Amino acid sequence: MSTPTRAPSGAPSHLTGPGGGRVGDDAARPDGVLKVRGEFAYGSDLWMDDMLWGVTLRSPHPYARIRSIDVGAALAVPGVHAVLTSDDVPGEKVYGLELADQPVLALDVVRYQGEPVALVAADHPDTARRAAARIVVDYDVWEPVTDARRALGHPTWNQVHDSPAEVTELSRESAHLHPHGNLVRHLKVRRGDPAPTADVVVVNEYEVGMQDQAFLGPESGLAVPGEDGGVDLYVATQWLHVDQRQICAALALPPERVRLTLAGVGGAFGGREDLSMHVHACLLALHTGRPVKMSYNREESFFGHVHRHPATMRYEHGATRDGDLVYVKATIYFDGGAYASSTPAVVGNGGTMGIGPYVVPNVHVDCYGAYTNNPPCGAMRGFGSVQTAFAYESQMDALAAELGMDPVDLRCRNAMEQGSEAITGQVVDSPAPVVELLRRLEAMPLPPEVPTGDAVDLRDMPGGVSNSTHGEGVRRGVGYAVAYKNVAFSEGFDDYSTARVRLEVVGGEAVATVHTAAAEVGQGLVTVEQQIARTELGVDRVTVHPKDTAVGSAGSTSASRQTYVTGGAVKAACEAVRARVLERARSVVGRPVADLRLDGGKVVSDLEGVALPLADLLGDEAVEETLEWRHRPTEAVDPETGQGFAHVQYAFSAHRAVVDVDTELGLVKVVEMACTQDVGKAINPQAVVGQIQGGTAQGLGLAVMEEILVRDGRVQNPSFTDYLIPTVLDMPPVRVEILEYADPHAPYGLRGVGEAPNISSGPAVLAAIRQATGLPLTRVPVRPEHLTGT
C-alpha cells in the first residue's frame, strides 16, 4: 500500500499513555491527559500550509427539482480554485450505508433542506463562502411530504383494535419521493394466537421527537492528493472501511489509492456513521491537486449528519387480572427522512425488541420505516430501541394502574430470564437478570425530601435560581423503567474485526503494539485495547497504532460492539503471538508450553519458577500476528413472522428516576437517577460507570428537553442556543450499581455497555413525571405546556 507524500499537522500519532492496567482494572486513558490539557488534536485542528478550504452549497428547500445551476459568478471570485457539481463526480453518484440512494451532490431533485448541491475550494474559508453564495440554482419548489404515516398511505390510526390501519393511495405527484416508493422496510413479527383476548386491555398512542447526537466536535477532515493519483483522507468518523468503500465508488478509484486515517473525534453517538464531507473533500483535492480542508460550523453540522428517527407508535397490551401479559399488538412508524441510511436496521431493532424484556405468548408487531422530506435519520445511541422503550414501558405503567398493581411488581411478574424466548423465538442463552436489576433499584434509599419555605435552596427547585418557586406547587414523583438492547450487528450481518499485534523489544523492554481500524470516538477503546494486550502478553508497555485502513476492517464503532468484537480480535491476535513466543521459549527453557506463561515481561513457569526475560528471548526479532475475529453468526428473520436467531447478545439495564415538578409552571427538576446494569465483565469499571452516566444524561435529555423542531421539512433550531441538551446544572447525581454475570459466548464474558442506559433512563423520567402529575404524557420530550395544559 502506498503512503502519503506528506502528513498534516494534527495527524494522529502512536498512543502509549501514562500507565498500566489489565482487564478488570480502572486503567487510565492514554489520550486522557492530552484531552484534559487541551493538547489533543481533533479533526478541526488538521493543518497544511498550502491547503485550500472547501465549503458546501446546500439546498434551502426540503423538496424541489433543480432546473439549472450557474457557477460562473462563483468561479470568477479571486482565490477560488474549483466549483464542482454532480457532473464532476467521476464514479457512482449515489452512496449509502445499506442502500445507495443518497446523491454525493444533488442530481435533479433535492429531498431535504440542507442537501449538498455544489462545492467550492478557495484559499480562504471566507472566500469560499462568498463564492458559494454566488452560485445560482433555479429550483422548482414542491410540497414536501413530512409525515411518515402519510408517506406510506396510512394517514390515520384505525380505532378498531383488531383491524389494520386504514390504507389510502396518495395521488399527489410529490408522494413518491424515490422511484421505488416511500417504504424503506416493513418488519412483521407474528407469534402465538392471531386473535387473542384478555381480561384487561390498555391501548395508547405515543410519539418520540427527533433527537440529535449533539457531538461537540463538528464534521472535519483534510484530503491530501497522493503522488499515485489517489488521495489520503484524515477524517473524524466511526467506520473507516465502510467510508473507504463508498468514497472509492464515488471517485472510481481502487482501495489502495484511497487511504483513510482517523483524525481526533469529538464525539459521535452514531452521527458519524454516514458520510458527510468525506467525498467532497477528496473530490476538491483531486480536482485542484492541493490539500483541502473542510470543517462544518455548528449550524451546518445539524444539516450535515443524520439524527434519531422520530417515531409514532400505537400499542395494545392485554393481560389477565393477575397481571400476566397475554398479548401485545404494536404498530410502529419510524420517519427515516429523505434517504435510507440505517433505517432498515433501525426498523429491525425496533421491531424485534419492540415489546421490551418481557415474556409474551402472543405478539403482533408491524414496524415501518418511511422516506419523507425531513432531515435524513440514521444511527444514534440506542438505535431503534430508545423510541419503542418509551412506548412499551409507558404501557407497563398504564397496565399496572389499570390492574391496581405496583409497576415494578408487574414488570417482575412478566420479566424475561435466562432460557426465555424473545418475540423472535430466540432463546436467551445467557443471564437475563431483569428482576434482580429492578429489585436492587427498589432497595436503594430514596433521596431526602427537599425543604420548603425559608430553608429552600433555589438550586434544588424546578426553575432553579430563576426564583420561580420556593416549593409551592411542587410535587415529587418516582418512576422505574427497564430495557434490553441487542449488542453488535444482527440479522445475519458478517460482523467481524481485524487486529494486528506485534511484540518486540525496544530499548531493552518488551513492547506490544496494537493496530486496528476501530474508531476511538471518546468511548475509551484505546484503553481497552491496551488492557487486553497487557493481560494476554504480560507486558506493561503497550502502544496503540493510529487507526487507519492499512489494516483490515474493524467494523463500526456503534451497536455497543467494539469492546466485544475488536476486543475479541485483539485478544485472539495476542493469543496467537503468545503461542509463538511460548513455543520459542519451550526449546530454550526445556519446559512444555502448557507450563509456561508471560508475565512482567518474562516467560514464567509456575512449576519451576523459570523466568526468561522476553528481551533475551526475542532479541531483535519481532513476533506479529494479524487476525480477523467473528462472534457466533446470527441469521435473517423470517419475512412473514419475524422469527429467527437475530441477535448475538442482549444487554440489560434498569433505571429509577426521582423528579420534582412545578405543576403550575410545568418545570421539571430531575432530583436523582439510579441505574443497575449487567455488564457481564467490567473490562474497565471506571469507564463503564462513565458510559452509564453518559447514557443516562442522553436519555434524560430526550425525556425533557432535546428535540430538533422540524416544520414543513424545515429545521427551526440548528444551534446549541435553541437545541437544548442537559448541562451540569440539569444532571442530578447518578447512582450506578454494576452486575457482572458473564455471557459464556463473549470474550471475558463481557456485554456491550454503551446503549442500554440510554434506553431505560428516559422512560424512567417520564414515569416519574406521570406519578408526580397524574397526567398520561404520551409524547417526548415533555414540554411545560404538556404539564400545565396551556
Proportion of the chain above pLDDT 70, given as a percent? 97
pTM: 0.96
The tally of CA atoms less than 13 A away on the side-chain side of residue 242 is 26
pLDDT for 16 equals 87
Task: State pLDDT tens for residues 391-402.
Answer: 999 999 999 999
Residue entry with cell 430553608: 455
Q: What is the mean pLDDT of residues 570-575?
A: 98
**At 159, which helix (H) or strand (E)?**
none
Please report the domains of the chain, with CATH numbers, ordered by start residue.
Answer: 52-142+227-265+272-296 (3.90.1170.50), 431-483+649-788 (3.30.365.10), 496-630 (3.30.365.10)
Q: What is the mean pLDDT of residues 361-365?
A: 98
Task: State pLDDT tens for residues 25-75.
Answer: 999 999 999 999 999 999 999 999 999 999 999 999 999 999 999 999 999
Exposed/middle/buried for 95, CB within 10 Å: 0-12, 13-18, 19+? Answer: buried
Instruction: Give the residue among 511, 235, 209, 489 at the shortest CA–CA distance from 374.
Output: 209
Q: What is the mean pLDDT of residues 665-683?
A: 97
pLDDT for 156 equals 80
pLDDT for 348 equals 98
Instruction: Give the residue among 648, 487, 612 at the shortest CA–CA distance from 538.
Output: 612
Instruction: Output DSSP code: residue 419.
Output: T
Q: Cα separation of 734 and 689, whole Å?
A: 10
Confidence of residue 165 (pLDDT cuts 50, 70, 90): low
Q: What is the mean pLDDT of residues 439-445?
A: 98
Task: State pLDDT tens for residues 593-645.
Answer: 999 999 999 999 988 888 899 999 999 999 999 999 999 999 999 999 999 99
- Report yes or no: 116 and 274 within 8 Å, Cβ to Cβ: no
Question: Does the pLDDT at position 244 exceed 90?
Answer: yes
Per-residue b/e over 285-295, b at no fewer than 16 CB within 10 Å? bbbbebbbbbb
Least confident piece of the model among 95-104, 172-181, 273-282: 172-181
- Report yes or no: 354 and 187 within 8 Å, Cβ to Cβ: no
pLDDT for 610 equals 84
Confidence of residue 1 (pLDDT cuts 50, 70, 90): very low
Share the mean pLDDT of the chain.
95
Confidence of residue 5 (pLDDT cuts 50, 70, 90): low
Confidence of residue 4 (pLDDT cuts 50, 70, 90): low
- Report yes or no: 359 and 420 within 8 Å, Cβ to Cβ: yes
Confidence of residue 174 (pLDDT cuts 50, 70, 90): very low
Q: What is the mean pLDDT of residues 302-310?
A: 98
Question: Does the pLDDT at position 182 exceed 50?
Answer: yes
Task: State pLDDT tens for residues 681-724.
Answer: 999 999 999 999 999 999 999 999 999 999 999 999 999 999 99
Q: Cα separation of 514 and 528, whole Å?
A: 11
